[in-house]
C-alpha cells in the first residue's frame, strides 16, 4: 500500500528532484497535495514551480496549494544566490497551465488530516516548517492524524549553510521548527550531516542527463545550475544533494543510518538563531524526539534517483 503523504516544499532545484521522485513512485506515495511555502524564493515562484513539476511528470492529478508567504515571527530570508531568481534556473520549463488551488495550504492540511484516521498521513517536508506549524497552532487536534514527519532540515556536525550555525530550512523559520519539534509527532530529520556525504559528481549528473527523457535532461540542467554555488564554497568533487533524501529515506530506509536523539532549535540568540541543538551523545534527559540520520550509501542513493527520474516522460 502506498503511503499517504502531504508534501510541503519551496522548490528550488533539489526540492524539484525530490518532488519528481515522489511523483514517479505511485506505488510508494499517494500524494494528497503539495503545499508550497516561501523559502528558497518567494511564494509566487514556489507555487508556480510546483505546478511546473507536476506537468513535467504528467501528474496533474496532484493538487498544488499556496501556503504562508513569510515566516511566523520574522522577515523572509531567501536563497536566490543559490537557486537563481526563479528557483528553477537551469531548466526551460514552460509556464504552468494547471491552476493553483484556491484553498490556503494551511487550511488544506487541516481539512485533509481531519478527514482521515489517526496516524494515517506522513508529512514529507522539504522546506521551512511554517505551514505545518501554523496548521498545528490553528488545529492542535491534527497532530494525532500524522504518523510521521520526514524532513530535510538541520545540522549538527556540519553546523550551518546559511549562517555559521544554522541550516537554511530551520533558519528561515526557527519558531515554526520549534513548534513542530515540540509537537510529540514522530519524526525523522535528514540534516546536512548526511546530505554533505551525497555529492552530485559529474559522473552521477551525466548518468541522469543520459536517461533519454525530458525529466532526466531537466534534472541534470537544474542541478548543474545550483551546484555552482556549493562547488565554489566547499571545493568538493560535487555538490551535496539535499531534498531527495526525503523520498529516498521513505522508499529505502535501509540505505540510511542514524540514532534516536533530542533535537531543539535556538530561537532567542541573534548569533546562533536557527541552530539545531542535537543531544547526539545523550548528555541530557530531554525526550528523544527525532530519528537523526547521519549516514547513507551514496551509490544506492543516486541509483534510486536515476531509477525514479527515468520513469518519467
* pLDDT(211) > 90: yes
* pLDDT(280) > 80: yes
Distance CA 86, CA 188 (A): 29
Among 154, 150, 171, CA closest to 162: 171
Query: What confidence tier does 224 reach under pLDDT thresholds 50, 70, 90?
Result: confident
Domain of 150 in residue numbering reads as 3-309
* pLDDT(228) > 80: no
* pLDDT(234) > 80: yes
Distance CA 259, CA 179 (A): 22
Note the pLDDT tens digit of each residue in 282-297: 999 999 999 999 999 9
Q: What is the pLDDT of residue 22?
A: 98
Hey, how many other C-beta atoms are within 10 angstroms of the C-beta on 283?
8
Q: How many residues does the chain have?
A: 313
Distance CA 198, CA 191 (A): 11
Residue 138: all three cell numbers together = 490553528
Note the pLDDT tens digit of each residue in 21-39: 999 999 999 999 999 999 9
Q: What is the pLDDT of residue 288?
A: 98
Which residue of the set 28, 104, 196, 242 is catalytic? 242
* pLDDT(177) > 90: yes
Q: 238 vs 197, which has greater pLDDT?
A: 197
Distance CA 109, CA 243 (A): 21
Average pLDDT over residues 138-154: 98
- Give the count of domains, the chain: 1
Indicate yes or no: pTM above 0.85: yes
Residue 113: all three cell numbers together = 488530516
How many percent of the chain have pLDDT more than 70?
Answer: 100
**Strand bridging mode 29-36 / 3-9:** parallel
Q: What is the pLDDT of residue 148?
A: 98
Report the CATH number that the domain containing residue 100 is assigned in CATH. 3.90.245.10
Q: Is 73 a catalytic residue?
A: no
Among 256, 252, 210, 45, CA closest to 15: 45
Q: What is the pLDDT of residue 187?
A: 98
Amino acid at each position: 500500500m502506498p503511503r499517504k503523504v502531504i508534501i510541503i516544499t519551496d522548490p528550488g532545484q533539489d526540492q524539484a528532484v525530490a518532488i519528481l521522485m515522489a511523483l514517479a513512485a505511485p506505488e510508494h506515495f499517494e500524494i494528497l497535495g503539495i503545499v508550497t511555502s516561501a523559502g528558497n524564493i518567494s511564494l509566487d515562484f514556489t507555487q508556480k514551480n510546483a505546478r511546473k513539476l507536476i506537468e513535467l511528470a504528467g501528474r496533474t492529478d496532484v493538487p498544488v496549494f499556496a501556503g504562508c508567504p513569510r515566516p511566523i515571527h520574522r522577515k523572509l530570508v531567501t536563497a536566490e544566490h543559490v537557486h537563481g531568481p526563479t528557483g528553477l534556473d537551469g531548466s526551460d520549463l514552460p509556464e504552468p497551465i494547471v491552476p493553483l488551488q484556491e484553498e490556503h495550504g494551511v487550511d488544506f492540511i487541516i481539512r485533509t488530516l481531519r478527514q482521515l484516521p489517526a496516524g494515517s498521513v506522513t508529512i514529507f517536508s522539504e522546506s521551512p516548517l511554517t505551514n505545518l506549524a501554523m496548521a498545528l497552532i490553528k488545529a492542535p487536534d491534527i497532530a494525532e492524524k500524522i504518523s510521521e514527519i520526514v524532513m530535510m532540515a538541520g545540522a549538527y556536525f556540519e553546523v550551518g549553510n546559511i549562517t555559521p550555525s544554522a541550516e537554511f530550512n530551520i533558519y528561515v523559520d526557527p519558531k515554526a521548527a520549534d513548534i513542530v519539534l515540540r509537537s510529540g509527532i514522530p519524526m525523522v530529520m535528514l540534516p546536512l550531516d548526511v546530505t554533505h556525504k551525497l555529492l552530485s559528481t559529474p559522473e552521477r549528473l551525466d548518468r541522469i542527463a543520459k536517461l533519454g527523457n525530458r525529466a532526466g535532461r531537466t534534472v541534470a540542467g537544474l542541478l548543474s545550475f545550483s551546484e555552482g554555488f556549493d562547488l565554489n564554497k566547499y571545493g568538493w568533487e560535487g555538490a551535496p544533494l539535499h531534498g531527495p533524501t526525503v523520498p529516498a529515506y521513505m522508499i529505502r530506509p535501509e540505505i540510511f543510518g542514524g540514532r534516536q536523539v533530542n533535537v531543539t532549535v535556538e530561537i532567542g540568540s541573534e548569533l546562533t538563531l536557527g541552530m539545531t541543538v542535537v543531544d547526539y551523545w545523550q548528555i541530557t534527559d530531554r525526550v528523544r524526539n527525532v530519528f537523526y540520520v547521519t549516514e547513507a550509501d551514496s551509490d544506492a542513493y543516486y541509483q534510486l534517483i536515476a531509477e525514479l527520474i527515468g520513469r518519467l516522460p
